[in-house]
Amino acid sequence: MEFLYGTKQTFLIELSLEPWLVEPTHEASLETQLSRMDIEKFEEIIAYARQTSFATQYLWGVEWWYYLKQKHKHPEFWDAAKALYAQD
């Protein structure tokens, strides 16, 4: 593509940091949600993303992180994201 169109900015979009569920989030048990996306997996995905060549990356999941923090008193994802954004 670079040969045809020249050098263009590239970025990673839709880096999913939320669970993929078969039902709406509010209907899934907390156990199910955390079995599909726990803080260790969150950190693994971030580590993997850092190894890519993409300087700009758009993360998905902020609504879920906030939902967990507010509704379930699980702030670990929100806090991890806060720390991540504070690095920039």
Q: Domain map of the chain by residue range? A: 15-86
Run of H or E residues at 71: helix 62-72
What's the predicted TM-score (pTM) here? 0.85
Measure the CA angle with vertex 44, ends 67 and 51; round to 5°.
120
Q: At what angle do helices 62-72 and 76-86 cross, to 10 degrees?
A: 130
Which of 49-52's residues contact partners 24+ apart within 8 Å by CB, and which partners?
A: 49/12, 49/15, 52/12
- Residue 10's pLDDT is what? 85
Residue pLDDT tens, the chain, 88 long: 788 998 888 888 999 999 999 999 999 999 999 999 999 999 999 999 999 988 899 999 999 999 999 999 999 999 999 999 898 6
HSE of 25, CA atoms in CB hemisphere, 13 A:
15
- Residue 88's pLDDT is what? 63
